[in-house]
Structure 1
Amino acid sequence: MEHSNQSCISEFFLIGLTYAPDFESIIFTLFLSMYFVTIFGNILIILAVSFDSHLHTPMYFFIASLSFTDICISTTIIPKLLVNIQTQDQSISYTGCLSQVCFVLIFGGLESCLLAVMAYDRYVAIGHPLRYTVIMKPFLCVLLVFLSLLISTMNALLHSLMLLNLTFCTDQNILHFFCELVQVIKLACSDTFINTLLIYTVTSVFAGVPLSGIIFSYIEIVSSILKISSVQGQKKAFSTCGSHLTVVCLFYGTAFGVYMNSAVSESSLKNVIFSMMYIVVPQILNPFIYSLRNREVKQAIRHLIFSVVL
């Protein structure tokens, strides 16, 4: 059966980011710079982990996987935004919009799962140091990343297929700078009760389970650290978790802010600001957080740059 929405609408307009023509070049340069920093920083992390044998451990494997995910999230959104700014055309095709919704859900969900996996890795490293290499085998690390991707993809396909059943008639203006699921559903002229219920039910489970895992892991981590008699040992143990905990707070704090704000507010400006805080800013900051707070990563990046330059 042919979907009626495809016969009624062929494109949407992303009007969440409005700007005066005089500021067009400034906004374009800003987003281009953020995209460049995101790509360059995360590629450096991936290359450093790949080429430095000292970083061939589960923790850095997960960090590299997180960097790859950050690259994918940014690439799903920012290039299209840059094209729209440059051409002064805010349109996005129906197919392109649904594809963007799907990929944002895949990589956003994957990042959530990876943060939970990384918390479990730190729990094993601190709570069971003597059994760490036995538990966190390479096969298990790859399996955990694969399962995270599989779960994220299934969640994204579920929402995307439900989105295909909606009818879109006259309103084509999305109050956002990318096709965000909640904002797209608000434009439907057919019944969206099932879609809305699915969003809050699945999102609560999908975000709640990883977050619960992270909280439980850190409760066990703190308990294990407090049992260490040496103050220096306690500081070292805490330092191995500092970067991950910073990323968790940044990602989950801003993500929850987005969905709570979208539920109670129609403000386009607020949606844009909150969304940039979890869909753009963390992807830029993650490489700095993990490199500036980690001596081994800084050394690996330094050696990598010197080997390329020399």
Structure 2
Amino acid sequence: MSSNSPTRERNRKAARSSAICTAGSNMSDCLTSMFEDAFALRGNTFVLVHGAFHGGWCWRAVSTALRDAGHSVFTPTLTGLGERRHLMSAALTIDTFVLDITNLIESEDLSEVTLIGHSFGGTVISGVADRMPHRLKRLVYLDAVTPLAGKSLFDMMPDAERSARMAALARLPDGGTQVPAPPAKHFGIDDAAQAAWVDRRLTPHPTGGYTSPVVLRNPIANGVPAAYIRCTAPVFPINDPCAAFAASQPSWQYHEIATGHDAMISAPAELASLLLRLEGSST
């Protein structure tokens, strides 16, 4: 364990609070120290970004496991999806979703963030890293898109997949469109109870999320240590090129989990365990 490890730093902070909060100490200084050090004692900080059609709800089991292990976890829902579906509009783009996460990080004053993006969420975390790498400790692409600068997700999709999604577009009251959610089995969920739970929560995805180009002013990951987790049982073939790209990067870690695309639902314990092992690895 290095001299700058999170554990050693938390111990140092705790010792400082103990020294300040002694008999006869200034109560204001004591309370201030305790308040500040409460954040240092939380362990690692995870921000989990969901994919298309999902919401923060999909991380329920994984976030519980990470919090039980002593870590701070945020599971935001992107604008227009999940419980924020009432904000669906023609104006939503990739930039909207990137702002969702950068604003969260800034508002909560987060640093040393392990930022995880599932599927479509890979575009979002890439945009966040492009804008604020200094706030991030690690990027984790969970069976995710590794975007190409200047290209939209529709540009990157196989022709058949793109045509199928465009043919299914539904009109919005403001003149825009949305992509209807596919059934849970599309995401490799075979368990009937899990599929029913997911089907009740999936919502349409803003078309602008697929048609707007990804703006990256720096190479993908922007110097932030990165890892890719590929789900292999069954594979999600649309992401084959992205997984191949990640596996070819000498500076990236590459791992596989024998479960379907929605690993946070079908294999939450295994996924949480892998995320914790990544936190213990060198950067």
Assess same fold via TM > 0.5. Answer: no
- Of Structure 1 and Structure 2, the greater helix share is in 1
TM-score (normalizing by structure 1) = 0.24
- Of Structure 1 and Structure 2, the greater strand share is in 2
TM-score (normalizing by structure 2) = 0.26
Larger radius of gyration: 1
Higher relative contact order (CA 8 A, sep 6+): 1
